[in-house]
Amino acid sequence: MAAVTPHDDGRMSEFEALMWELERDPQLSSAFANLTVFDRPVDRKKFRARMERAVVAVPRLRQKVVPSPARLAPPEWRDDPLFDLDHHLRWVDLGGTADMDDLLHLVATLSRQPFDRTRPLWEFVVVEGLSDGRGAMVQRLHHTITDGEGGIRLSVQFLDFERDPAPPAEPAAGSGQPADGNGSAGDEPQGWWTRTADALHHTVRERAGQALAATSAITNAAVHPDQLHQRSAELTGVARSALRQVKVDQRHSPLWTERSLGRWFGVSQLRLDEVKDAARALGGSVNDFFIAGAAAASGRYHERAGRPVETLRVSMPVSTRHDRSAGGNAFSPTQSLVPTSEMDPTERFRLVHEVLAAVKAEKAIGAVQDAAGVVNLLPSLVVVRTGQRLAGSVDFVCSNVKAAPFDLFIGGAFMQANYPIGPIAGTAFNLTTMSYRGWMFLGLVVDTAAVGEPHALLDDLERAYAELLHAGGVTSPHFELDV
């Protein structure tokens, strides 16, 4: 069965179409972002010039979503004839007195604003007027454009490796939008009948491919009957794996039960080399360390509130990207129960390591695309309710993204920190980490109706990671960014 891989035939993949449809409920939004902090404000002229080239090099940035009639096929990506770069680049001046708390509040406000679904689904907000003379930028993307790893690769179009690089080469003639920026004659909307016919053709082609695969499997079984039992066992294993991954259950948290569109955003950071050393000493990976800390902090928050809990369900994306593309989504969402009761950090790390190893071995990880195709056949209301039920069984989300290990610049400004802002998707919080320049930058997005004391949760996270570092032999961990 096919994994979720970048899809670039002009339509969304089945999985991307599912994310698009689920957003009819704003709480299931899949938008994500980064908060980048610079040593000085970004040069407006330089940055805009780079973005003019970026929207030529990456067509998806100037394309909008065009749904298929009656949802006969996944939505199409079509050049927006009214594309205006300045609609997607915003400049915010905080007056010269704003501190980090003010910046984080701005991020929380931006993170709950939906995209205009009739325009290209991205927005970069350049922030000026911080009290310490630094600058910042909030880079927001809809998940249907790309995933976190693809977003990192996309950013190459506007990143520099030095503060004052030589001007980049002009885009190749004819590779992007016309000089007037208003699209081309070929971008005019197709008639309803033409779009319907195209959607039907796409669906027939996809179903024909599936039928051919099924016929091939049947023929192979007839020619090699000895393989039939093995194949049946494999399919049974995939089915059982899929059921484990889409199990609809009640949230395990007795405390984080309410949901809203209220958001809070907080940040922290860990030295990557210290985390690697501790994880290695404890017998696992950086991701084991990351999830173990999130589990410990969540359990401690519940314990302090007098509502202890043994386990919580976490959703984690597992990358399936095997190419170097920047666009599309190449990941599989997984879920598992992690231990949250009070225990020794070493024991928790061991249990989390075993849980994550079992998740990576799930046969259903490669079956997400097919499952999404089946769900997309259902009426919109049923699709959304299915998404709500699945989200209703997950307590929180964690994600781990790798970025560059070296210095980067945007518009003449040096990137000091890069904090990820992941989608909550109907859960209590999203904790995402992004590695850059030897640091693990942590971004915590909280639903304020679920977690009443988000500052306390962030404190619990830092304490949990400090305990894991100590258990792994790191006695003096670094939490303060050395900039």
For 259-282, how does the pLDDT look when each residue is reduced to its tens digit (9 = 90+)? 999 999 999 999 999 999 999 999
Q: Does residue 291 lie within any of the structural domains?
A: yes
For residue 256, what are the contacts with CB-CB under 8 A and spacing of at least 6? 395, 396, 428, 450, 451
What dihedral angle (degrees, nearest 10) is formed by the CA atoms of 141, 440, 397, 257? -110
Q: Does residue 420 lie within any of the structural domains?
A: yes
CA-nearest of 379, 443, 476, 413 to 137 is 413
**Rounded CA separation 290/301 (Å):** 17
- Give pLDDT tens digits for 229-247: 444 444 344 444 444 444 5
Q: Does residue 482 lie within any of the structural domains?
A: yes
pLDDT of 207 higher than 70: no
**Rounded CA separation 147/9 (Å):** 17
Q: What is the pLDDT of residue 300?
A: 98
Hey, CA dihedral for 273, 279, 284, 288, is it positive or negative? Answer: negative
As for how many domains the chain has, the answer is 1
Q: Does residue 185 lie within any of the structural domains?
A: no
Q: Does residue 365 lie within any of the structural domains?
A: yes
For residue 473, what are the contacts with CB-CB under 8 A and spacing of at least 6? 277, 278, 281
Q: Which of 283-297, 369-383, 426-440 has the lowest mean pLDDT?
A: 369-383
Q: Kindly state the average pLDDT of the residues 388-415.
A: 91
What dihedral angle (degrees, nearest 10) is formed by the CA atoms of 331, 335, 336, 342? 100
Q: What domain range is 15 assigned to?
A: 1-168+192-483
Q: Kindly state the average pLDDT of the residues 461-475.
A: 96
| Helices of type H across 13-84 | 14-22, 44-57
Opening angle at CA 52, ends 50 and 57, nearest 5: 90
Residue that the structure tokens 């089945």 belong to = 14
Q: What is the pLDDT of residue 380?
A: 77
Q: Does residue 181 lie within any of the structural domains?
A: no
Query: What is the distance of C-alpha 373 from the center of its chain?
Result: 20
Q: Does residue 179 lie within any of the structural domains?
A: no
Q: What is the pLDDT of residue 410?
A: 95
pLDDT of 457 higher than 90: yes
pLDDT of 288 higher than 90: yes
Q: What is the pLDDT of residue 412?
A: 96
Helix (H) or strand (E) holding 140: strand 135-141
Asked if residue 33 lies in contact with residue 432, where contact means CB atoms within 8 angstroms, the answer is no
Most confident range (mean pLDDT) of 152-156, 258-262, 400-404 is: 258-262
Q: What is the pLDDT of residue 366?
A: 55
Q: What is the mean pLDDT of the chain?
A: 81
**Rounded CA separation 237/2 (Å):** 16
pLDDT of 110 higher than 50: yes
Q: What is the total residue count of the chain?
A: 483
Asked if residue 108 lies in contact with residue 13, where contact means CB atoms within 8 angstroms, the answer is no
Q: Would you state the structure tokens that stand for residue 107, as one six-digit string?
A: 């991020």
- Give pLDDT tens digits for 191-202: 544 544 454 444
Percent of the chain with pLDDT over 70: 73
Q: What is the pLDDT of residue 9?
A: 60
Instruction: Categorize the per-residue pLDDT at 479 as very low, low, confident or very high, splitting at 50, 70 and 90.
Output: confident
What dihedral angle (degrees, nearest 10) is formed by the CA atoms of 7, 13, 16, 18? -170
What ranges make up the beta strands (E) of 284-364? 311-319, 331-339
DSSP 202-221: HHHHHHHHHHHHHHHHHHHH
Q: Kindly state the average pLDDT of the residues 84-112.
A: 95
Q: Does residue 99 lie within any of the structural domains?
A: yes
For residue 302, what are the contacts with CB-CB under 8 A and spacing of at least 6? 253, 254, 255, 308, 309, 340
Q: Give the end-to-end CA distance of the chain in Å, rounded to a whole number.
A: 47
Amino acid of residue 229:
H
Supply the CATH number for residue 18's domain. 3.30.559.30
Instruction: Categorize the per-residue pLDDT at 122 as very low, low, confident or very high, splitting at 50, 70 and 90.
Output: very high
Q: Would you state the structure tokens that stand for residue 158, as one six-digit string?
A: 């506007």
Whole-structure pTM over 0.95, yes or no? no
| Contacts of 185-191 spanning 24+ positions with Cβ under 8 A | 187/78, 187/79, 187/80, 187/81, 188/81, 189/66, 189/78
Three-class SS state of 41? coil
Q: What is the pLDDT of residue 119?
A: 95
Q: Would you state the structure tokens that stand for residue 250, as one six-digit string?
A: 């009640």
Instruction: Categorize the per-residue pLDDT at 347 as very low, low, confident or very high, splitting at 50, 70 and 90.
Output: very high
